[in-house]
Amino acid sequence: MKKILITIAIIITIALVLIGRIDRTPIHTTKEYKTTLENTHQTIKKIQKSVDAVDTLKIGWSAQCIIPKGVPLAVAGYGFRAPYRMVRDSLYARAFAFDDGVRETFVLTLDLMIFPIEVRKRLEEKLKTIGLTGNDIMYSATHTHNGMGGFDPSLLGNVAMGKYSEEATQKITNAAFEALKDARKNKVKGSIGFLYSQSPEWVTNRIVHNGRKENSIRGIKINRVDNKSAAIVTYNAHPTNIEMNYWILSRDYPGAWVKNLEKSDKIDFAAFCAGMVASHGPANPNNNKDCFSKLENMGKVLSDSILNIWDTTPTESIVSTIIEKTPIHFRPSQVRIEKHLKVRDWVFKSASGGLEGDITLFKIGGINWFAAPSDISGEIAIDYKYDEIANAKKEHFMMTSFNGNYVGYITCDAYYDTLANFEIREMNWVGPEYGAYFGDIIKELIEN
């Protein structure tokens, strides 16, 4: 009997050490929310005090391959997977440089699941050698589920993204750095405009059957005086057309989309940044049986949507470009075990490094481009009516994910206790009411 009691006591002790209760304190009353809101107001003051551009915008771009030669790397996507066996289409770092005569700003997107935290940290050390900082860069990723892994040294990263590889991490970092330098070196005077179209047939709500979906195509049109043109495009469907039993590297539909744009007679260079993908997946309106036919068809339709509006989309040449990053303060992590129980924060920190991130805002002319440190849901943009708020100011809204940190999924708060989907349970690391938390910050920044 004594041994049984000791065993029970040990089990209870271990449970208390490892398991805690979900914190349901109303988010708006927390010190973390109030501190972040103050950070937001400081960001607004910086933007309001910024000096306007007085000269024609200069723009450059470049791409560099990020795949290291001869290194066996796991395919990153759908959880732990084996090393890739072939390259269907190569993976790149794609960079844009903007110079408004007052400031230099940059966009950098990678053909990977996320923008790796380790790569960002190393890259920002290298940026110091050329007079730049991480605050000058808008980060993103295509979110392909058939990119390479091996770029996250944490325990969670080794499990989810494949065994850590120093060679891969350094290759990605170096390629990103070279792409930024090359884009900066090749700037030419030009102009930019806001691209907007819709493609409801190629996106679906993957959390709620027949649920709401944000089906917009958004992007930036770039024309230069040397008759070269480029596009940055975004869409809200997960790049998950390729099934997980293919051990190949591929950019999925974003690669097909970019390829078709660059093959056209209108656009010389293009890049894709994952949009508000948290609750959105790719649809299959043509009922393609083959996943590769599906992604190619999807890329063609999305490409045509941009090319059809290209000539009628106006551009401006004298525009300000400002990047500001608003730090987010997080409560202790809340990775759920069941409805009211979670893994304690120290366990999560030990496995992943913890929660850290910001809301990035890239104001380029009248375009308010936000980037989240997460998968973020397009349903939040619908609920908050971001387009209406921006349009009332004669401005535009766009939003992307994976801005150089990663804190899991940010979805509608109404789903937190009503759905048991993977996206809502296992991939929500922050706890209840963070849809409203992120939503409020973005709304405040658009309005002011």
Q: What is the pLDDT of residues 101-149, one digit of tens each?
A: 999 999 999 999 999 999 999 999 999 999 999 999 999 999 999 999 9
pTM: 0.95
> What are the tokens at 332?
């202790």
The whole-angstrom separation of Cα 358 and Cα 13 is 36
Q: Are strands 367-371 and 341-343 parallel, antiparallel or unpaired?
A: unpaired
Biggest CA–CA distance in the chain, Å, is 86
For the chain, the domain total comes to 1
Residues 6+ positions from 361 with CB-CB distance below 8 Å: 43, 47, 322, 323, 324, 325, 326, 368, 369, 370, 445
Predicted local distance difference test score (pLDDT) of residue 5: 53
Predicted local distance difference test score (pLDDT) of residue 1: 63
Domain that holds residue 193: 1-448
Residues 6+ positions from 248 with CB-CB distance below 8 Å: 75, 84, 85, 86, 87, 88, 146, 242
Element holding 263 (H helix, E strand):
helix 252-263
Mean pLDDT, consecutive 10-residue stretches, the chain (448 aa), reads 57 65 96 98 96 94 97 91 94 98 97 98 98 98 97 92 95 98 98 97 94 96 98 98 94 98 98 97 93 96 98 97 98 94 94 96 97 97 98 98 97 94 92 97 96
Residues 6+ positions from 212 with CB-CB distance below 8 Å: 205, 379, 382
Predicted local distance difference test score (pLDDT) of residue 422: 87
Among the residues of 312-357, which ranges form H helices? 345-352
Q: Is the dihedral of CA 425, 382, 271, 254 positive or negative?
A: positive
Predicted local distance difference test score (pLDDT) of residue 79: 84
In total, the chain counts a number of residues equal to 448
Predicted local distance difference test score (pLDDT) of residue 264: 97
Predicted local distance difference test score (pLDDT) of residue 3: 59
Surface-to-core class of residue 388, CB atoms within 10 Å of its CB (0-12 exposed, 13-18 middle, 19+ buried):
exposed
Q: What is the pLDDT of residues 164-219, one digit of tens each?
A: 999 999 999 999 999 999 999 999 999 999 999 999 999 999 999 999 999 999 99
Q: Are 23 and 431 in contact (CB under 8 A)?
A: yes
Predicted local distance difference test score (pLDDT) of residue 151: 95
What secondary structure letter does DSSP report for 134? G
